[in-house]
Structure 1
Amino acid sequence: MDYRPRHPQPFTLTEATQLEVPIITEEIARLQNSLSHLQRTQDELKEHITATEAGDTVLEEAYTDNSRVIASQQERIAILKMALSNKGIPYSSHYDIGSQSQGTGRSSPGAPTTHAMTERSADDRGIDL
């Protein structure tokens, strides 16, 4: 049985499980970094929304959109962690942002490279299957 996500995702649990471990962990780190930036933006948006008496619909819409993106990316991280577990590798904080070399989300010298890594789009949205 495959995991059924609540949000549209670019890959399934089955597809994620087929990826190499370094690809999975790099994507987790990239998503965690993205979430960190999104959360900072959410805090700033909330501050501005609260400070605006009449309410700014543009800011409120941005806040709502970011909330959806955050939920989707958190779910994507959960799928990738399940993929690691399916490979017999328990997820630990070792794979979190702080342990990635310079937090770039790029592979280390000598790390295996796959088609998914080399064929990313120009906007670097993550794993392409």
Structure 2
Amino acid sequence: MSASAAPIPLDQFAAALLDLEVPQLHQESARLQNSLYHLERSNTTLAEYPDDEDCKDAIRYNHCVIEQQKQRVDIIRLELIRRGVSVGHMDLDIPESGSSAPADTQATVAASGSSAPADGAANGHAGEDEGVYL
């Protein structure tokens, strides 16, 4: 995504998840968590230059992106829970800022009627090591 592209609204993101299979949800979560790791690492580096206004701006921007991506990970987690998939392995290693997905987005995910399988067996991915391949 380019710096000028706005992310889709959370309700649209939640609706789009309904069309994804469980392995795809795990891949998207992994992609977002990898991005979160790099954003936090970048902010740590940028913080070494407290007098640089460009660095301060980048840190502020990154904080906004971090919050948006954490919300998306939470929405994916809720969708997986709704499908009966264990999500204990999805805990973020990034310090929480107390933010979570808005209640209306959580309700959208919880109230949806997706008929996707609860595990990867139906789509041939049972037992495979899931991840993002670049």
TM-score by length of 1: 0.60
Change (3 A) 1:10 1:65: farther
Alignment partner of 2:65 out of 69, 74, 81: 69
What is the correspondence of 1:34-53 to structure 2 with a 5 Å cutoff?
34-49=35-50
Q: Structure 1 residues 10 and 63 mapped into 2: Cα distance closer, same or farther (>3 Å)?
A: farther
**1:1-16 superposed matches below 5 A:** 8-9=9-10, 11-16=12-17
Ranges in structure 1 where 5+ consecutive residues have no aligned partner: 1-6, 50-54, 107-123, 125-129
CA 1:14/1:38 → structure 2, altered by over 3 Å: closer, same or farther? same
- 1:60 maps to which of 56, 63, 68: 56
Q: Is the 8 A contact 2:32 2:69 kept in 1?
A: yes
Segments of structure 2 that go 5 or more residues without pairing to the other structure are 1-7, 93-127
Give distance in 1, aligned partners of 2:25 and 2:68: 16
CA shift digits 1:25-47 (9 cap, x unpaired): 00111111111111100101112
Q: Which 4+ runs in 1 deviate beyond 2 A?
A: 7-15
Q: Sequence identity of aligned pairs in percent? A: 30
Give a deviation string over 1:101-122, Cα, whole Å, max 9, x none.
5x9613xxxxxxxxxxxxxxxx
1:105 maps to amino acid: V
CA displacement 1:8-36 (0-9 Å, x = unmatched): 34833233133100000001111111111
Are residues 1:23 and 2:50 paired?
A: no
Question: Could you say which residue in structure 2 is the equivalent of 1:120?
Answer: none
Q: What TM-score, normalized to structure 2?
A: 0.58
Whether contact under 8 Å (1:29, 1:105) holds in the other structure is yes
